[in-house]
Amino acid sequence: MNMKQGMFIGVIAAFLILGFVSMQRAMPDAKSDRIYKAIEVYSPYKLEKRMGGLTIVDSRDGRKEKPSAADVLLRLDELDEVWGKKHLKIENDAVVVFGDNNQSIVKIHIQTPQEKAWVKKFYGI
């Protein structure tokens, strides 16, 4: 192998590694599917498709955010975390969802300790 071939392979490897690292950074953390889907119904933030990608819509006031395609899922997680700190509470083996006027809307039962740990970590409660 001569010098040119070695440099070419090195540049290709560097691009592949940088691409993989940037993809990993752009991916949101894994979610507990059952609990997240049950809580997501009450979250005011929804994704809306548009020509340029995705828009995050706040259903309470219709406000829209248009983050870049790489940041949209991370931004949605950030908004859900802020919302969850104000509107979620863990009581015994259940997550209680509160409305804007601090009234209890629903209790979602937690089945495993891993789900409870995930709720505490993801929503910061």
pLDDT at 56: 93
In degrees and rounded to multiples of 5, residue 10 shows phi and psi of -65, -40
Prediction pTM value: 0.75
Show pLDDT as tens, one digit a residue, over the chain (125 residues). 688 888 899 999 999 999 888 878 777 777 878 898 999 999 999 999 888 788 999 998 989 999 887 788 889 989 999 999 999 999 888 999 998 888 888 999 999 999 898 999 988 88
Question: So where are the chain's domains?
Answer: 1-27, 31-123
Q: What residues does 45 pair with on adjacent strands? A: 58
**Cα separation, 55 vs 87, whole angstroms:** 23
C-alpha 89, offset from chain centre: 19
**Cα separation, 24 vs 27, whole angstroms:** 5
- For 105, residues 6+ apart whose C-beta sits below 8 A from its C-beta are 42, 97, 98, 99
Place of tokens 């070419």: 8
pLDDT at 3: 86
| Residue 73 falls in which region: left (phi positive, over 0), alpha (psi -120 to 50) or beta | alpha
In degrees and rounded to multiples of 5, residue 39 shows phi and psi of -80, -35
